[in-house]
Chains A and B, each alone.
Chain A
Amino acid sequence: MEMTTQAATMRTAAPGVQADGGYRQEFLTFTLGEEEYAIDILKVQEIRGYDAVTRIAGAPAFVKGVINLRGTIVPIVDLRIKFGLGKVEYTPFTVTIILNVGGRVVGIVVDSVSDVVGMLPEQIRPAPDFASGLDTAYIQGLGTLDERMLIVVDIEKLMLSGEMALVDEGAAEQRIAA
């Protein structure tokens, strides 16, 4: 069973400093189509189901709109549309990951959330430089975990980039610089 192996991995992947002195960083992994992505768990605020959104005029197709997250207006980005991966449909099982990046709260829609994994820096290898849906500038590297390949994404850089159209022009560069 896949779930049990994942649970086992999670148990062995205890957080904290390892005996060899390397620091284990924790990542939340999710899938988009056939690909598995990993993002820094510290950027994740919460995971929730997909709610009805209020559309925003003039927004790109992947910006679904905004939701009311306990009184805060939060924009929702569908990464499946953005990267052209997975099946874009909204069911009761569609998941939204609420991120807290650069002082902003943003939600991303993905196919499914898998688990939380810990990886040592040496487990993350630089990504080969070739064109894909995701600009390599936002890829920290490729993580190897057993048989899985995880695409480790610098989610903060990605969400605040001009490409995501979430921040006003100019403000994006400032935020990243800061």
Chain B
Amino acid sequence: MAIDMSQFYQVFFEEAGEHLATMESLLLDLDLAEPDLEQVNAIFRAAHSIKGSAGTFGFQDMAEVTHEAETLLDRVRKEETRLDEAMLDALLDAGDVLKTLLAAHVGQGEADHEGMTRVCARLRQLVAQSAGRSVAAAAAAAPEAPASAADAGAAATLKAYNVSFAMEAADAETVLDNLLDELQQLGEAMVLVRPATPDGTWHLRVTTAADREAIAELVDFAARSGTLGIDAAEDQPPADADDGSYGFFDDAPAPAQEEAYGFFEPVGEAAAPPADASYGFFEPLPEQVATAPEPAITAMAEAPKTERRQTDRRQNERRAGADAASIRVGIERVDQLVNLVGELVITQAMLTQAAGRVDPVIHERLLTGLVQLERNTRDLQESVMAIRMVPISVVFGRFPRVVRDISQKLGKQVELKLVGEGTELDKGLIEKLTDPLTHLVRNSLDHGIESPEKRTAAGKPAQGTITLSAYHRSGSIVIEVGDDGAGLNRDKILAKARERGLQVSDAMSDQEVWQLIFEAGFSTADKVTDVSGRGVGMDVVKKNIAALGGRVDIESMTGIGTRMTVRLPLTLAILDGMSVQVGEETFILPLNTVIESVQPERGMLRTMGRTRQLLQVRGEYLPMVTLADVFGIGGRAAQPEQGIVVVVESEGTKAALFVDALLGQQQVVIKSLEANYRRVPGVSGATILGDGHVAMILDVPSLVDMGRKALPEAA
């Protein structure tokens, strides 16, 4: 009877994704000259977990690739071979292939089966090579050679483990079959005791070169939580089993044995070998057993291994601790919480406003309570918002790889510095930030950092530096991508802009010139490389960042370097807005689109045709959009000089919005209007003001568009 695995797929996809990310970052961190065994072990474990769960869920392609990677890693961690650049590349490639396979399973993109075959073959070849090398090392009789030679000879390191666990009754047989298959990959596995009922305790014996954790990870999937027990049976091959295992006990084994039978419910008939007595004993006391016999064994066998195993265990403990300290929660639950708190904040604001009218002397306690409520609400809101926050290291983590690959491809020497990786921002933002940031980094690599020769000639160190830093600044997050390269070339950009027919002049400020590179199709690269230079990208970067409510600034100095600064709001749910009044209504303008506000004078206004009005602001003619007309509201300011004009910009186009008055600046919570209504032209959403009323958030791009086209006939 097969259970429906698909319900667990999502968990697998998430976990596999995390494991892959861990693998990659650890691989990049590895110091080839002196690899840290703990790190190698961690990589191995990550690969192993992917393999285990991929196998269980039937994603054979992923299991196959990880299996090959794991074989190689296993040799490395057993110190049978030295990790070299080729292996590192192959392992990183394997990680990439796994990512595409995973994406294909999730339903995004095509599975790269060709790449998979290639990577598998390459890994197998490396394993074969390394095997030859380690034997050679043994022959050369290096000081530590005996140990590694012994390791290489399979039999000597084989260990037998007794595994006991219980399973859910429903699908015990199927799960067991899968489990045995998995265990066979590690070594030999057999069932010692079959319980009388399917949900009883199973006893398996696994003879393998892999360590306890490897078995535990496999069996953990099948075992009912808390029922898993693994212990080393004996250090010898199974043939001369029994004596060996008892030998490690100082106490007389007899009483223990008697006790053991007590725990052993349906005694496994005659089929159970005598050694089983000890398993029964071990089961209720896994802690003691786990620690007692093992060091003894390892101490006898080979000293270096003990050390490694202990570090293994230490790491496992640490990992277990981390697991216990976090829980996986669906994002929609968090969003619901955020919404509820948002409502609470509004209610609290309404109460405070209402309480403003009561007599402070009579209602002193009420007012104190309200102050308390305000503080608690604010704290609550902060804590809830913090749930959605993730450190930016999630995004930064991918860049060491990007920089390594691209700098190799370009023949440049680049060091990547990461600053402020712990800076937190909204998860929704993180996902949308990856692509634009990658583009900026690639751009710095390709156009910013010069080749080593050029750098040396310019008196700079041959190795260039790219600095990625993130920090919080007054309610927004700032991410900087800086390089110490050649800097932007003002003349080249201007020349290119003229060539493309853009309106430029030599008098333009540097800031304005730099902004030109955000024009669509703009590239000053002499030749198009596959890294960048096609001129697609920077405009997309700017558009994407603007869509998140942020902006990109550039600072550059010839010969010193360039710094791109991305400023973003902390979350997508909150918007920095400027509230404006038109008639009786309040509208919110996203602050990042506002350039300035001007008190218009009669002379500044020009007409064009019958319906179009232009406003002359600082030498520019801006199309004027009268909000009262757009929304069909009777504005109070009939004459231009009675109202005020807000100059807004969207995608490089400016427009002048005519409103009655500016009310102020405030942060507003964005609410969907479309959830219960339809799209409204000129409006991007709605929000709830402190007095409980609804205000529309203006959609500046579409308003600017209205300015560009003919205005609707004035009502």
Contacts and interface: CB of A to CB of B under 8 A. Distances in A.
Nearest to B712: A58
A105 B676 contact: yes
Interface string B112-139: 0000000000000000000000000000
Interface string A52-65: 11111111000001
A124 B677 CA distance: 32
Given A54-B693, A56-B680, A66-B694, A73 B675 contact: yes
A5 interface: no
Contact of A70 (B343, B675, B693): B343
Nearest to A74: B676
A73 B671 contact: yes
Nearest to B681: A58
A58 B672 contact: no
A58 B671 contact: no
A57 B585 CA distance: 11
Contacts of B686: 54, 66, 73
B671 A71 contact: yes
A57 B681 contact: yes
Given A71-B343, A73-B671, A73-B672, A66 B677 contact: yes
Contacts of A68: 346, 688, 692-694
Contacts of B678: 165-168, 171
Contacts of A71: 339-340, 342-343, 346, 671, 688
B676 A106 contact: yes
28 contacts: A52-B693, A54-B694, A54-B696, A56-B677, A56-B680, A57-B631, A57-B632, A57-B680, A57-B681, A57-B683, A67-B694, A68-B346, A71-B342, A71-B343, A71-B346, A71-B671, A72-B676, A73-B671, A73-B672, A73-B673, A73-B686, A73-B688, A75-B676, A105-B676, A106-B676, A165-B678, A166-B676, A168-B679
A166 B123 CA distance: 60
Interface centre among A54, A65, A72, A74 (most CB of B within 10 A): A54
Contacts of A105: 676
Nearest to B583: A55
B337 interface: no
Contacts of B692: 68
A57 B678 CA distance: 12
B633 interface: yes
A75 B672 CA distance: 12
A70 B342 CA distance: 10
B695 interface: yes
Contacts of B631: 55, 57-58
Given A71-B339, A73-B694, A167-B677, 18 more contacts: A53-B694, A54-B694, A55-B633, A58-B632, A58-B680, A59-B680, A66-B673, A66-B677, A68-B346, A71-B340, A71-B342, A72-B671, A73-B675, A73-B676, A75-B676, A105-B676, A167-B678, A168-B679
Interface of A: 52-59, 65-68, 70-75, 104-106, 165-168, 171
Contacts of B673: 66, 73
A104 B585 contact: no
Contacts of A167: 677-678
A79 B467 CA distance: 62
B594 to A, nearest CB: 20
A68 B343 CA distance: 10
A143 B604 CA distance: 66
Nearest to A63: B677
B630 interface: yes
Interface in B322-351: 339-340, 342-343, 346-347
B550 interface: no
Contacts of A70: 343, 347
Contact of B676 (A65, A104, A171): A104
B537 interface: no
A166 B682 CA distance: 17
Contacts of B633: 55, 57
Contacts of A59: 680
A106 B673 CA distance: 12
B693 A72 contact: no
A104 B673 CA distance: 11
Contacts of B585: 54-55
A104 B672 CA distance: 12
6 closest A-B pairs by beta carbon, nearest first, are: A71-B343, A57-B631, A54-B694, A75-B677, A168-B678, A68-B688
Nearest to A54: B694
Contacts of B680: 56-59
Interface in B681-709: 681-683, 686, 688, 692-696
B682 A57 contact: yes
Nearest to B341: A71
Nearest to A165: B678
A55 B634 CA distance: 12
